[in-house]
Amino acid sequence: MKTYEKIRAISTTYSGDRFAVAEFDKRVQIWDLASGLLRVIDTDFDFGGNRLSISPSGKYLTAWSYDKNSITTYSVDSGEMLWTRKDLKKCGTIKHFRHEVESIFVTLERQATHILSSGTGETIAKITGAQGLWGLGSQTQVVIEKHDRINLVDKDFKTVKTSPKRTFTILDSSYSTDKIFVSYSGGPLESIDLTSFESTWTSKPVGHFLDIGFNLLENKVIGIRCEYEKGSSKFLSVLDYMTGNIENEF
């Protein structure tokens, strides 16, 4: 009987056609929805934090090793290692996004956040105090989370517009063509208009949403709701895009 390795991490492209899953641990499988398993790559990847990311185009895969202090990027098509950096210590998060060119957002414990070129690994910019980032799909806009605010930034990562955070930390975020949806720890799910960068609605569920996404075909916000104070099962919630009202739960 064939046995399968445990999967502990997943990263998808913007379109979702290609995705990477990490076994426990080191080996990363790369899949394509049309053709199946593309390849398996042996990496330095280890667990804890968000340390695996595939680029929006599906061309690059980046893995981080906390123990070895290395960030390494591989070609998805060939499986070869393209570059590695060992000077960026104690990484918390790596995340590919597209902003003019494909780039990588890297948070570090004792250094400013770095923006790296996906293709070469060189540092494009440094941002002090950045905690999280959401590249808005195929658009050129990028939203960055800082200590007490959410900032919409331009191509040079300078703040264009800003909005206050509702609680101390953001659990997850997603976006439609005109709005960004932000879920707060112990707080509401908020919809922010990308033009005015002002709140259009807030929805306070019982508990909070651990993960959220947006279904473009149905114009629905999807969330994993957790009643953390009661310790209950998690719920898959479907919310109205315009109001934030929960329409259905599973």
Q: What pTM was computed for the model?
A: 0.85
What is the arithmetic mean of pLDDT over 44-67? Answer: 86
pLDDT exceeds 80 at position 16: no
pLDDT per residue as tens digits for the range 187-203: 999 999 999 999 999 99
Label residue 216 by pLDDT band (50, 70, 90): confident
Mean pLDDT, range 233-250, rounded to an integer: 95
* Per-residue confidence band for 140, with pLDDT thresholds at 50, 70 and 90: low
pLDDT score of 136:
66
pLDDT score for 13: 85
- Cβ atoms of 120 and 104 within 8 Å: the answer is no
What is the rounded distance in angstroms from the CA atom of residue 107 to the CA atom of residue 152? 18
Q: Which residues pair with 102 in a beta bridge?
A: 98
Torsion of CA 198, 178, 14, 102, to 10 degrees: -70
pLDDT at 67: 80
Question: Alpha carbon of 7 to those of 4, 47, 113: distances in Å?
Answer: 9, 11, 28
Query: How far apart, in Å, are the Cα atoms of 49 and each of 32, 159, 225?
Result: 25, 26, 21
Distance CA 75, CA 30 (A): 11
Lowest-confidence segment of 37-51, 102-116, 234-248 by average pLDDT: 37-51
Specify the pLDDT at position 212: 94
Q: With bands split at pLDDT 50, 70 and 90, how would you rate the model's confidence at 138?
A: low
Q: Report the distance separating Cα 54 and Cα 61, nearest Å.
A: 4
Flag whether pLDDT at 230 surpasses 70: yes
Model confidence at 2, pLDDT cuts 50, 70, 90, reads low
